[in-house]
Structure 1
Amino acid sequence: MPNFVNVEVTEGIAILVLTRAESANALSIQMLHEINNALERIQYDRSIRVVIVTGDGEKAFCAGADLKERKGMSEEEVRKTVALIGKTVDHFDTLSQPVIAAINGVAFGGGLELALACDIRMASNTAKIGLTETALGIIPGAGGTQRLPRLIGAGKAKELIYTARRLTADEAYAYGIVEHVVPSQQLIVEAKRLATEMANNAPLSLIQAKKAINQGMQTDIATALQIESLAYNHLLNTEDRLEGLRAFQEKRQPIYSGK
Structure 2
Amino acid sequence: MTQLAHPAHSLLAELDGFHVEFNSADSRADIVLDRPPFNIVSMHQREQLRLTFEALDANDAVRVIVVRAKGEHFSSGGDIKGFIEASPEHVAKLAWNVASPARCSKPVIAANRGYCFGVGFELSLACDFRIATETTLYALPEQKLGQIPGSGGSARLQKMVGIGRTKDIVMRSRRITGSQAYEWGIATEFVADAELESATDSLVRELLAFSPLAQRTAKKLLNDTEDAPLSVAIELEGLNYSRLRSSDDFREGVEAFHQKRRAAFKGS
TM-score using structure 2 length: 0.88
* 1:107 CA drift (Å): 0.9
- Secondary structure of the residue aligned to 2:116 is strand
Q: How large is the RMSD of aligned CA atoms in angstroms? A: 1.7
Report the AA paired with residue 244 of structure 1. Answer: G
* 1:255 CA drift (Å): 0.7
Structure-2 change in CA distance of 1:222 and 1:177 (3 Å): same
- Secondary structure of the residue aligned to 1:96 is coil
Match of 1:51 among 51, 55, 65: 65
* 1:111 CA drift (Å): 1.2
- Secondary structure of the residue aligned to 1:38 is helix
How far apart are the structure 1 equivalents of 2:91 and 2:205?
A: 34
Q: Where does the alignment leave 5 or more consecutive residues of structure 1 unmatched?
A: none
* Structure 2 partner of 1:21: 36
* 1:2 CA drift (Å): 6.0
* Structure 1 partner of 2:140: 131
How far apart are the structure 2 equivalents of 1:102 and 1:118?
A: 10
* 1:174 CA drift (Å): 2.6
Does residue 8 (structure 1) correspond to residue 21 (structure 2)? The answer is: yes
Question: Sequence identity, in percent?
Answer: 33
- Decide which moves more: 140-149 or 228-237: 228-237
Report the AA paired with residue 8 of structure 1. Answer: E
How far apart are the structure 2 equivalents of 1:2 and 1:253?
A: 39
Report the AA paired with residue 257 of structure 1. Answer: K
How far apart are the structure 2 equivalents of 1:61 and 1:84?
A: 22
* 1:149 CA drift (Å): 0.9
- Secondary structure of the residue aligned to 2:171 is helix
TM-score using structure 1 length: 0.91
* 1:3 CA drift (Å): 4.5
- Decide which moves more: 119-128 or 176-185: 176-185
How far apart are the structure 1 equivalents of 2:192 and 2:81?
A: 31
* 1:204 CA drift (Å): 0.5
* 1:82 CA drift (Å): 2.7
- Secondary structure of the residue aligned to 1:14 is strand
Q: Where does the alignment leave 5 or more consecutive residues of structure 2 unmatched?
A: 1-13
Does residue 116 (structure 1) correspond to residue 125 (structure 2)? The answer is: yes
* 1:143 CA drift (Å): 0.9
Report the AA paired with residue 45 of structure 2. Answer: M
CA contact (8 A) 1:17 1:56 kept: yes
